[in-house]
Amino acid sequence: MSAITAPLARRALTRRTMLKAGALTVSFALAGLQTRAEGTTPAPRMLDPKELDSFLAVDGDGTVTLFCGKVDLGQGLRIAMRQIAGEELAIGVEKINYVEGDTALTPDQGRTSGSNGIQRGGMQIRRAAATAREALIALAAQRLNMAAEDLVAADGEVRPKNGGAGIPFADLIGTRSFNLKLNPKVPLKNPATYTLVGRPLLRPDVPAKCTGTFTYMQDFSLPDMAHARVIRPPAIGAKLIAVDEASIKNLPGAKVVRIKDFLAVVADDEWAAVRASRALHAQWTSWSGLPEQDKLAATLRADRDITDEVLVARGRGAVGNPPGAMTRSATYFWPMQSHASIGPSCAVADVTDDSATVWTASQGTHGNRKTFAHFLGLPEEAVRLIYLDGAGCYGMNGHEDAAADAAILARAVGRPVRVQWSREDEHGWDPKGPPQLLDMSGAVDPSGRILAWRTEMWLPQTTRGLPDIPLLAPVAAGLDDVRGLQPGLISQNADPPYAADNVQVLVHWLKDTPLRPAPIRSPGKPANCFAVESFTDELAAAAGLDPIEFRLRGLEDKRGTEVIRRTAALMNWQSRPSPSPNRNAALAHGRGFAYVHYKHSESYVAMGMEVAVERSSGRIKVERVACAFDCGQIINPDGARAQVEGSILQTLSRALMEEVQFDRSRVTSVDWSSYPILRFPDVPKLDIVLIDRPTEPPLGAGEAACTTVAAALANAVFDATGARLRTVPFTPERVKATLNGV
Amino acid sequence: MASEIARYRVRINGVERTIESSDPDQPLLYGLRGLGLTATKFGCGLGQCGACSVLLDGRPTRSCLETIANAQGKSVVTLEGLGSIAAPHPVQAAFIKEQVPQCGYCTSGMIISAAALLAEKPKPTEDDIRAALAGNLCRCGTHVRVVRAVMSASGRGG
């Protein structure tokens, strides 16, 4: 296991053989398995993200291999990264082998999160490929005794611009390393000459996913692997008193593993582990430390253990009340939500006395390495994490916890262990999107000028970036000094993107949140934008102005105004103030609008929505969503479009239906009936326009369109009915109560 | 609790296979996956999400709720048996053409349910498709593409 003997060439050969077998979707983790089965670990690779060799290797057979620290979660990086690299290096995407998310093989490009896969990770790869191209041209210039300016890279070779035979990349570099730093000033291809970037090339993993040959995390196995289920306590803070091992004695091969309060069953086959987990009797202490769910907002507001921070202060920084001003104030609330992955989390680990290999679907293989090394008591170099696709996680679901479960159990039983969470585990124990409470106040004059704006919000302090998400298993097992993982920055986009005389954003950082917090797709910003863009509508209505005109009056940014105008055109928007004159109809129709400049620095999104609200039932039918989306240079338009579609539908689900239910001891919404999500009959028509800006930097496409959904929806309901929804989710009961309050 | 291993004969993707288990109530899902047929996914074990859908004697069935004892002597088709990359079923081909899956974890159940619909109703409307797939959950938000792909597989795409 520990001998470092496998030469890179053999690994490359394995990979090539697999490629010839017809699958471009080579999961390098499979090769990782093969190296293990061969009793070897891969040759040490350069992993420094400042070094070209960390990202790129020229293979001997006309292909190159790209080593990517960002992982493909279904968002299409496997093709997009190849397009970026192939474009700069001048080689076709089918000639690019791909390795991702393996701490032994790929550079640390940071967690695949924050919609920054392309925006940051892709740009490192772009520079790497361009640096390699320049180096290969220089080598050819030497060989041909020509000036570099007279040479061009194309189709995997360097050739004279004036014609004549070219030299393949492999012949130029041979088996040597580049031994070069990434050149931050390397010349990049003129976007006008792009042949790969900007095209809707097919995602290479799709055929295998559609025919059942794709290896998911849940499908991965090792020789002599045991199957485990972890038994979580019936109350979140409960301690384990006693375990009745005899309760599973009739199940052959099933064994109990207990480490302090960490309890699991291990068996040779998966069904035996499931049966054992159901049969096992254990006694736990009682615990009821959660707040009352229906008083959650008040609990946040009343928290005394807080730090205040002014995030934004423009103008005089306080709400004024000049003559002629109309003032408004309102409170918005977003509940705790689950990632609600379709497949419960799963992981496999193989841990010996001096090393650990963990196969995980986590978005942060590299970031987790330090954490895992710490609780396993191993040096970081001895811990290897290898990414395999799981069910979509959209932030941090149970993948990291399942991986920690597997690592601790593999060490305990001395053989590889696969941990598969149950549905109840996933809904009950994935770390949750934290609750967000926002008080808005503002003043507007009759011309629509925002005189004052104030956002005051209550957010858990952990979201400031403190490493405070403890993993379940190390905590339960009493392992020392656990370093947790970080949730996303959820305080962004809490100030309006429109001109305002005075703006203040104040955050009360709370010490705790009832359930472990974690980033969920577009962390925090769907709630902040819900409040900001709904409140913008409230001010527009106060001024008696059309919601889009109101926004355009206060917006300078040309890319912002363009997405707004394009969406208005998609909606065939007729100017009038909200609410609609027909708001008392039994089936009330309305349209709503919202806009965001993501993080005030990234993608631009404008979204319009058409809804019908049935007054008798409170049921909202979303009929159509229109969206203009500007994420700068588009690498793969079909991939970007798929991300926008997914952002819209997933967040519609969150806005309409989703709220984690809990009692004083535990989460009680632990299946799909108690935590429903969007189904086919609920899906509206989508009209999406992507605005490509080839000469602008590419920006993230995976999150931004989440942020405008709830506000566009609430604004449409207000337009339809005159009733303002300020609490998510917009269930029929809540809509009906709000309608009755009008 | 009896622990003798019993053998259950099931015709899977056209081949007679044997599932060995000490528990007649073992869900078919674990039997299939134990044979290496991992396209069929564990999603909830409660029959709520559709990820584990297979065709049992031609009918779409939640393999997490179907026992191996009950599947004995019957015919099962999984995603692997529906078609391959080289020779895909029309629904598989349409899912590939429309680039439907993102994470793809629900895809197996979606394709099985859609294939069952088309077998029964070769020219469905979009509403038929939405109704037939209402029990199949997708978290990535690929629904619009799923409907487009099934319409396309039925020859009604455009």
Query: B140 in contact with A at a CB cutoff of 8 Å?
Result: yes
Edge-first strand order for the sheet with A604-614 is A587-597, A604-614, A619-630, A685-690
CB contact under 8 A, A212 and B105: no
CB contact under 8 A, B44 and A672: yes
- Cα–Cα distance for residue pair A304/A302, rounded to 1 Å: 6
Give the SS3 label for residue A224. coil
Residue from the list A210, A271, A673 with its beta carbon closest to the beta carbon of B107: A210
CB contact under 8 A, B131 and A681: yes
Residue bearing tokens 């309006």: A496
Sort out which chain B residues have CB atoms less than 8 A from A216's CB and list them.
38, 41, 105
pLDDT recorded at residue A343: 98
pLDDT recorded at residue A111: 82
A158-193 confidence digits (pLDDT tens): 999 999 999 999 999 988 999 999 999 999 999 999
- Cα–Cα distance for residue pair A113/A7, rounded to 1 Å: 33
Residue from the list B42, B108, B135 with its beta carbon closest to the beta carbon of A420: B42
pLDDT at B154 over 70: yes
Sort out which chain A residues have CB atoms less than 8 A from B100's CB and list them.
206, 210
A100-121 confidence digits (pLDDT tens): 999 999 999 988 877 778 888 9
Pick the most confident of A43-47, A515-519, B36-40: B36-40
Edge-first strand order for the sheet with A96-100 is A56-58, A64-68, A96-100
* pLDDT band for position A486 (cuts 50, 70, 90): low
CB contact under 8 A, B141 and A638: no
Are B136 and B113 in contact, with CB atoms under 8 Å apart? yes
- Cα–Cα distance for residue pair B119/B126, rounded to 1 Å: 16
pLDDT recorded at residue A483: 58
pLDDT recorded at residue A324: 83
Query: A649 in contact with B at a CB cutoff of 8 Å?
Result: yes
What number of other Cβ atoms are within 10 A of residue A348's Cβ? 28
Helix (H) or strand (E) segment spanning residue A83: helix A77-89
Query: B85 in contact with A at a CB cutoff of 8 Å?
Result: yes
pLDDT recorded at residue A320: 56
Residue from the list B40, B48, B102 with its beta carbon closest to the beta carbon of A642: B102
pLDDT at A549 over 80: yes
Strand partners, A307: A509
The two three-digit tokens of residue A661, written as one number: 């239910």
Give the SS3 label for residue A402. helix
pLDDT at B116 over 60: yes
Residue from the list B79, B103, B144 with its beta carbon closest to the beta carbon of A211: B79
- Cα–Cα distance for residue pair A649/A82, rounded to 1 Å: 28
Least confident segment among A368-382, A643-657, B86-100? A368-382
Query: B158 in contact with A at a CB cutoff of 8 Å?
Result: no
pLDDT recorded at residue A334: 98
* pLDDT band for position A482 (cuts 50, 70, 90): low
Give the residue from B22, B95, B143, B147 with the most A CB atoms within 10 Å of its CB, the best one to mutate.
B143
Query: B22 in contact with A at a CB cutoff of 8 Å?
Result: yes
Residue from the list A208, A390, A645 with its beta carbon closest to the beta carbon of B144: A645
The two three-digit tokens of residue A20, written as one number: 């010839």
- Cα–Cα distance for residue pair A450/A443, rounded to 1 Å: 6
Residue from the list A76, A219, A392 with its beta carbon closest to the beta carbon of B139: A392
* pLDDT band for position A469 (cuts 50, 70, 90): confident
Query: B46 in contact with A at a CB cutoff of 8 Å?
Result: yes
Query: A223 in contact with B at a CB cutoff of 8 Å?
Result: no
pLDDT at A31 over 60: no
Angle among Cα A559, A564, A566 to the nearest 5 degrees reads: 95
Give the residue from B102, B112, B128, B130 with the most A CB atoms within 10 Å of its CB, the best one to mutate.
B102
Residue from the list B26, B42, B134 with its beta carbon closest to the beta carbon of A218: B42
Backbone φ, ψ for residue B119 (5° rounding): -65, -35
CB contact under 8 A, B146 and A680: yes
Provide mean pLDDT across the span A220-227: 98
Give the residue from B35, B144, B146 with the most A CB atoms within 10 Å of its CB, the best one to mutate.
B144
CB contact under 8 A, A638 and B37: no
pLDDT at B6 over 80: yes
CB contact under 8 A, B130 and A681: yes
pLDDT recorded at residue A742: 63
Chain A, window 240-299: residues with a beta carbon less than 8 angstroms from a chain B beta carbon: 250-252, 269-271, 274-275
Higher pLDDT, B30 or A32: B30
pLDDT recorded at residue A367: 87
pLDDT at A39 over 60: no
A595-607 confidence digits (pLDDT tens): 999 999 999 999 9
pLDDT recorded at residue A217: 98
Side-chain-side CA neighbours of A204 within 13 Å: the count stands at 21
pTM for this one? 0.94
A513-528 confidence digits (pLDDT tens): 899 988 899 999 999 9
What number of other Cβ atoms are within 10 A of residue B32's Cβ? 26
Pairing of strands B15-21, B6-12: antiparallel
Q: How far is CA A256 from CA A230, A253, A426, A428, A706, in A?
A: 10, 10, 21, 22, 43
What is this model's ipTM?
Answer: 0.98
CB contact under 8 A, B141 and A390: no
- Cα–Cα distance for residue pair A131/A120, rounded to 1 Å: 17
Least confident segment among A43-52, A582-591, A640-649, B37-46? A43-52
Query: A394 in contact with B at a CB cutoff of 8 Å?
Result: yes
What number of other Cβ atoms are within 10 A of residue A328's Cβ? 14
Query: A699 in contact with B at a CB cutoff of 8 Å?
Result: no
Amino acid (1-letter code) at residue B127 = D
CB contact under 8 A, A343 and B43: yes
Helix (H) or strand (E) segment spanning residue A437: strand A436-444
Provide mean pLDDT across the span A57-65: 94
Least confident segment among A192-201, A309-318, A596-605? A309-318
Helices (H), chain B: 28-34, 68-71, 79-82, 90-97, 107-120, 126-132, 143-153
CB contact under 8 A, A343 and B23: no
A359-379 confidence digits (pLDDT tens): 999 988 998 998 899 999 999
Give the residue from A219, A280, A680, A686 with the most B CB atoms within 10 Å of its CB, the best one to mutate.
A680
**What is the per-residue DSSP string for B31-53?**
HHHHTT-TTS--S-SSSSS-TTE
CB contact under 8 A, B143 and A683: yes
Provide mean pLDDT across the span A392-415: 96
Chain A residue with minimal CA distance to B110? A210
CA nearest neighbour of A569 among A504, A491, A626: A626
Q: Return mean pLDDT, chain B.
A: 96
Q: How far is CA A133 from CA A26, A51, A157, A178, B80, in A?
A: 25, 14, 10, 11, 42
